[in-house]
């Protein structure tokens, strides 16, 4: 928690000045922070004993207002994921948290239905990992520990309870959820609405159709979940550096076209993406009326029972990770599917088509021109420049060192791509 102070960082008087929006905040009789105007500030200060009458150097009320602006100013006012209500300081900025998540309460009660759903949808091993993952995130919020964590991606067919598992994450982390897809996919530069929720949830969003958007998504996974300081961009407010405690999840169908929402898992993203394969399950109460009755009357109660189990869960030693506490789980079937639709594998498939069983030799720009002449639209989606073709060939050389090799001739890289084994 370097650079942060606990919630007992309080001003001399319970009035705070928002220096960016030039407005004032104080607490009401219940302790809730409320926005007040300047006239209200003056009335409250007079009621507290500050004189309104002007002296030669100004009234004591005016002096106190100036002192509040100088000493009790904040650069952000609002909810902040993982932080309790109160005035805090991080780096050089003070900020006022006005609303916190629901307490992470537990009850030692039965939660048989939730366990049944979790194990049926994920299988015993994946559900065990899920419990360990959520424990690390509850511990981070409870103790305000800024621990990076992988994004948990649920992929499977319809009726495999992907969205249900995400709803469960929201409730287990305090009940607040925000949707980061528009920001992560480059549709907006504003991300301020994300800072008030512990759970960043990506669900049923259209997958990207180009490698540039996939790259943006991968970059934002890194920055949102692994950066020490994050620049919050709100409409009508200057950017400010805050430190939320976030957990991210994503759900998608397991069709190849849908899996494109998952960025290619290279070395830089391997520890940042967890892949969980969900299975289609049907319960006796899966008619809407029975299901809604259970959700309304029993779901939240069972969540507290599951939270009790999770808070006592012991992570397998082989799953331990020094940085994220728990490793990013990888379902092997999903990993293979994602690797097979990666940009570099798409490139290799196109090269095999144009090669017709022959060996291809040439510079990246020469190979690019050949495949672009045959597969213009497909090539543009995976690589919009010759240079990116070279990057993809480099990835192929690591994945398929027998087939793809590189040598330097007179300062330039020359690539050799052999045909597949069954065509050699």
The residue among 411, 415, 423, 407 whose CA lies nearest residue 368 is 415
pLDDT at 1: 37
Model pTM above 0.75? yes
Rounded CA separation 269/159 (Å): 29
Phi, psi of 75 (to 5 degrees): -100, -5
Q: Where are the domains of the chain?
A: 15-97, 112-338, 342-423
Placement of tokens 């305090």 in the chain: 174
Is residue 144 within 8 A of residue 82, CB to CB? The reply is yes
Q: What angle do CA 16, 196, 101 make, to 5 degrees?
A: 95
Query: Exposed, middle or buried by CB within 10 Å (0-12, 13-18, 19+), for 296?
Result: exposed
- Those residues whose C-beta lies under 8 Å from the C-beta of residue 140, and which sit 6 or more positions away, are 82, 146, 147, 149, 245
Q: Is-contact 346 378, C-beta < 8 A?
A: yes
Low-confidence stretches of the chain (pLDDT < 70) are 1-13, 55-57, 206-207, 209, 284-287, 422-424
Cα gap 279→161, rounded to integer Å: 8
**pLDDT of the residue at 13:** 58
Helix (H, G, I), strand (E, B) or coil at 414: strand
Q: What angle do CA 212, 265, 401 make, to 5 degrees?
A: 105
How does pLDDT run across 78-98, given as a tens digit for each residue? Answer: 999 999 999 998 877 889 999
Please determine whether the domains at 112-338 and 342-423 fall in the same fold group of CATH.
no
Provide the pLDDT for residue 422. Answer: 64
Q: Is 261 left (phi over 0), alpha (psi -120 to 50) or beta?
A: alpha
pLDDT at site 55: 66
Structural domain 342-423, CATH architecture: Orthogonal Bundle (1.10)
> Is-contact 272 222, C-beta < 8 A?
yes
C-beta atoms surrounding 4 within 10 Å:
14
pLDDT (0 to 100) of residue 77: 94
Domain 112-338 has CATH 3.40.50.300: yes
226: CB partners within 8 A, 6+ apart: 148, 272
Residue 423 confidence (pLDDT): 45
């Amino acid at each position: 928690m370097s650079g942060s102070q606990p919630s007992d960082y309080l001003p001399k008087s319970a009035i705070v000045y928002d220096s960016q929006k030039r407005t004032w905040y104080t607490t009401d009789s219940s302790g809730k922070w409320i926005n007040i105007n300047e006239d209200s500030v003056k009335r409250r200060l007079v009621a507290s004993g500050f004189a309104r009458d002007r002296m030669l150097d100004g009234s004591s009320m005016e002096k106190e207002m100036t002192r509040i602006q100088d000493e009790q100013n904040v650069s952000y006012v609002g909810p902040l994921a993982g932080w309790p209500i109160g005035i805090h300081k991080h780096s050089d900025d003070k900020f006022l948290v006005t609303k916190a998540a629901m307490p992470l309460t537990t009850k030692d009660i039965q939660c048989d239905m939730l366990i049944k759903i979790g194990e049926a949808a994920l299988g015993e091993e994946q559900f065990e990992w899920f419990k360990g993952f959520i424990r690390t995130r509850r511990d981070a919020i409870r103790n305000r520990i800024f621990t990076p964590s992988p994004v948990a991606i649920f992929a499977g067919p319809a009726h495999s309870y992907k969205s249900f598992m995400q709803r469960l994450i929201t409730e287990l982390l305090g009940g607040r959820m925000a949707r980061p897809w528009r920001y992560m996919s480059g549709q907006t530069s504003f991300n301020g609405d994300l800072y008030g929720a512990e759970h960043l949830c990506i669900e049923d969003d259209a997958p990207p159709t180009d490698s540039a958007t996939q790259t943006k998504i991968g970059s934002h996974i890194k920055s949102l979940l692994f950066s020490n300081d994050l620049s919050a961009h709100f409409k009508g407010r200057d950017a400010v550096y805050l430190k939320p405690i976030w957990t991210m999840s994503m759900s998608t169908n397991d069709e190849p076209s849908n899996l494109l929402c998952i960025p290619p898992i290279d070395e830089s993203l391997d520890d940042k993406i967890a892949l969980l394969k969900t299975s289609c399950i049907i319960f006796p109460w899966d008619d809407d009326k029975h299901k809604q009755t259970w959700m309304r009357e029993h779901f939240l109660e069972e969540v507290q029972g599951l939270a009790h189990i999770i808070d006592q869960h012991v992570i397998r030693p082989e799953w331990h990770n020094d940085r994220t506490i728990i490793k990013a789980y990888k379902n092997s079937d999903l990993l293979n599917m994602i690797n097979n639709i990666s940009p570099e594998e798409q490139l290799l498939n196109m090269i095999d088509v144009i090669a017709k069983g022959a060996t291809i030799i040439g510079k990246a720009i020469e190979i690019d021109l050949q495949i672009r002449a045959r597969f213009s639209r497909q090539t543009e989606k995976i690589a919009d420049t010759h240079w990116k073709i070279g990057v993809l060939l480099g990835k192929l050389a690591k994945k398929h060192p027998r087939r793809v090799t590189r040598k330097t001739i007179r300062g330039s890289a020359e690539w050799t791509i052999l045909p597949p084994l069954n065509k050699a």
